[in-house]
Amino acid sequence: MSMTKTEQAKVPKESDRMKKVDFKMISFTLAGKDYGIDILKVKEIRKAGNFTKVPNTPIYVRGVDNLRGDIIPIIDLRTMFNLPAETKDSASLENIVILRLDSLVLGIVVDTIEKVVGISSDSIQPPHPIFGDINIQYINGVIENEGRLYIILDVDRIFGQSEASTHTAPAATAPEQTSVDAGASEAVIEAPTGVQVLPLDLQFVGETLAAFGQFQLSPLNREWVGSRLAEWKKSRQDRGLDFQLTQKDEADEFLATFPSPFTGRLWSSEAATSLAKLMSFETASLVVWNPGCGRGYESYSLALMIQTCFSEKNYKIWASDNDLLSISTAPSLILEDEDLDLSWTEYTVQAKNGLQFNSELKAKVLFEFHDVNHLNPMPEVHLAVMRDVISYLKPSDQDKLITELSDKVRLGGYLVLGTNEKLSHPDWKAIGNATWSVYQKI
Amino acid sequence: MRVEYINPFVEAAYNVLTEVLATEVKRGNLFLKSATKPVMGVAAIVGLAGEVEGRVLFDMSKQTAIKIASVMNMEELTEIDDLVKATISELANMITAQAVTKLHELGFKFDLTPPALITGDNMEISDQEVEALIVPMESPHGNIEINVAVRERS
């Protein structure tokens, strides 16, 4: 019943959105493809030709033209974008869109000018990272209208390049920009390296990371991505490379410093003790939730921490992962000698395949093949540990899980996130340190 | 679903199907599902109780059910009659029982209910409360999906 109700509620909303027209653009074609420019940037359209050639200019500058007494530069967008342009004899007229940008009036030559298209700015989709490395910066988004796909050009960025480097991020404050998470990303991040990270850069990198690395930019990890991007930009510039991520291994390299300490191995006993010192529990028994446990190192580390630092407590750890291969090996994890902190040797036994944890410790951890996005049939927990898990869920699933955490963790209970993940939520108080990102439910 | 439960079900399904069909069966990739799922036409359900709660559902098309029942009974059957229904119920019982036996050896105590058989068109199964593990089995007589939804009593 409840499902049908919400569906009904959604339907009229959807159609409202379709009808709302708050963005108009001039549509035109370049080499047979449809493009659009925000109508507020367009002064007029006209036909002109026989431009006065200006020597020593880039190849895409066709020359200057006299627009009723104003001398304006004429730029051939097709040459600029490396698209084929049919060569017309100098006498014939070209289709010109005259743009008025902040301080500049200029004309662009296009193939044909079509019409004015009214759309809803909500339905503009952000450009996909695979569009390319440089051109993506010049695209506001993509929109489908009456069966045709229009690429909306960001003319401020295309023609405002030289100013962008001297002024403080004029493009970033352009009003027509449609950012998926505009609300959260106004701030320009100034890194110690002196390299600026614009909100738009952050958005592009976020989208690329989602496409290549399944990593999802969100308020949880924005701070890290921002400072990492500044660092990345600096190191790429030093090597003379563009900072955009174009391949999977670049995305992997970018993310290499994201994982928390002790990812994929057992914690050291000092690290476990330092985490334990941040927490205190009143009840005699503890329930711990550890989704995304991978091969189980984290879950066993937690068991060892409780065993040594909260020795009087009875506890149970619910660990799960949606990777069948990793989770299958977790219940009988084989330990390498170098993995293991010496003070924990007493919890291990020599089995026929190698060193394993003893059955007493194993009995405390329940490993499940489970997707955290599905229903989590858990009792209330005292401690939830999900380091570097939420950042890899879709933004909507992230919100859902954070809400669920507020429900599932008892008052006064704790949540441990990845070292580079920061949660700001009224239900949670940060009590962590440099290694541990710990939050207490308040 | 607890990791230790997965293999007994997969192995039991493989063993029993290979044996009764006397042919090669293949296991597809396991996956998890929590949303409503269409049922192919014939579904046998065996309930599980004890330390856990849940059920196992064997889902196949009518055509597959008839073919499998024909092979198991060593006679040509053409429609979903009582014999086909009894045969499919028995198959479900055999697989689940073997899985439960394996689980018992590992120290998990499960009880099972007698199988119930459901046939019809355009059916759906809803598991709002529990996530199901889907084990697809492919045989020359058609595909069988084994849908295991088990959770710990908490």
Q: pTM of the predicted model, to two decimals?
A: 0.64
Q: What are phi and psi of A328, to 5 degrees?
A: -65, -30
- Nearest CB neighbour to A371, from listed B4, B131, B151: B131
ipTM for the assembly? 0.83
Class of domain A269-441: alpha beta
Quick one: pLDDT at residue B44?
A: 92
Computed from CA positions of residues A11, A14, A18, A19, in that sequence, does the dihedral angle turn out positive or negative?
positive
Residue A14 buriedness (CB in 10 A; 0-12 / 13-18 / 19+): exposed
Element (H, E) at A225: helix A222-238
- B6 and A369 within 8 Å at the Cβ level: the answer is yes
Extract the residue ranges of chain A whose pLDDT is less than 50: 1-17, 133-134, 162-187, 190-193
CB contacts of A369 in chain B (<8 Å) are 1-3, 6, 30, 32, 133
Chain B interface includes A366 (CB < 8 A): yes
B39: its two tokens: 């049922």
Residue with tokens 């429609």: B79
> Quick check: B46 and B112 in contact, CB under 8 A?
yes
The secondary structure of A179-210 as a DSSP string is: -TTGGG--PPEE-TTS-EE-HHHHHHHHHHHH
| Structural domain spans, chain A | 19-178, 185-258, 269-441
Chain A interface includes B30 (CB < 8 A): yes
User: Which CATH code of 3.40.1550.10, 3.40.50.150, 3.90.550.10, 3.40.250.10 fits the domain covering B3-152?
Assistant: 3.40.1550.10
| Structural domain spans, chain B | 3-152
Distances in Å between the alpha carbon of A301 and those of A150, A236, B145? 53, 37, 37
Of B137, B145, B44, residue with least CA distance to B90: B44
Interface test with A, best of B1, B2, B3, B127 (most A CBs within 10 A): B3
Architecture of domain A19-178: Beta Barrel (2.40)
A85: its two tokens: 């342009």
Chain B interface includes A265 (CB < 8 A): no
> Quick check: A352 and A315 in contact, CB under 8 A?
no
Q: What is the mean pLDDT of each run of 10 residues along chain B (154 residues)?
A: 88 92 89 78 90 88 92 91 92 92 89 90 76 90 90 76
Q: What are phi and psi of B32, to 5 degrees?
A: -105, 150
> Quick check: A64 and A71 in contact, CB under 8 A?
yes
CB contacts of A328 in chain B (<8 Å) are 3, 6
Interface test with B, best of A4, A325, A375, A400 (most B CBs within 10 A): A375
A 10 A CB-CB count for A158 gives 21
